[in-house]
Amino acid sequence: MSQENVEVMRRIAEDFLGVSESGWEGWITGLSDAMDPGIEWDASEFDAPDIDGMYHGIEGVQRFWREWFGAWETLTFEYELIDAGDRVVMLLDQRMKGRSTGIEIPIAKYAQVATFRAGLMVHWKLYVSQAAALEAVGLRE
């Protein structure tokens, strides 16, 4: 099942990279197909106004993404996926362009960890450090 989880995360990332700003709403809606209705979305380590903290359920996750996309005109990233059993680590190197400022901002490399049960994402956590995410799943850089 773990390789299937990696493929779910790969599809999510590739779908995201292939969509323009006008398609973000469709991506947000499609993301729910991969989530358990009771998903916990943990952005508590993220230091950004209005979108840090915990989000619960599919509606909470969709709210997170709508708020996130509201601030950015473009988002691009490179990623690497690491199979960690029932969890998948996504290491990211991301750049964004502010909607109101037009300024391009690189984010320091960070990571996300998604936990799966029965093929659906039940928990997601953002880590501001790739090393911390790898350690959280029992791996080291």
Confidence band of 90 (pLDDT split at 50, 70, 90)? very high
Domain presence at residue 50 = yes
pTM of the model: 0.88
Q: What is the spatial distance between Cα 107 and Cα 109, in angstroms, rounded to a whole number?
A: 6
Residue 50 CA to residue 132 CA, distance in Å, equals 23
Q: How far apart are CA 30 and CA 3, in angstroms?
A: 21
The pLDDT tens digits of the residues spanning 46-86 come to: 766 566 789 999 999 999 888 877 777 777 788 999 999 99
Decide: 8 and 94 in contact? Cβ < 8 Å: no
The residue range of the domain holding 66 is 2-136
Residue with tokens 């990233």: 77
pLDDT > 90: percent of the chain:
52
pLDDT computed for residue 81 by the predictor: 97
How many domains does the structure of the chain reveal?
1
Q: What is the pLDDT of residues 91-133, one digit of tens each?
A: 998 887 777 888 887 777 899 999 999 999 999 999 999 999 9
Beta pairing partners, 75: 96
What are the tokens at 139? 């791996």
Residue at 111 is within a domain: yes
Note whether residue 79 is domain-resident. Answer: yes
In a domain, 15, yes or no: yes
Element (H, E) at 58: helix 57-70
Q: Bridge partners of 105? A: 96
At residue 49, the pLDDT reads 57
Give residue 72's pLDDT.
74
Alpha-carbon gap, residue 60 to 83, rounded angstroms: 26
Supply the pLDDT for residue 50: 63
CATH code assigned at 72: 3.10.450.50
Query: Does residue 141 fall inside a structural domain?
Result: no
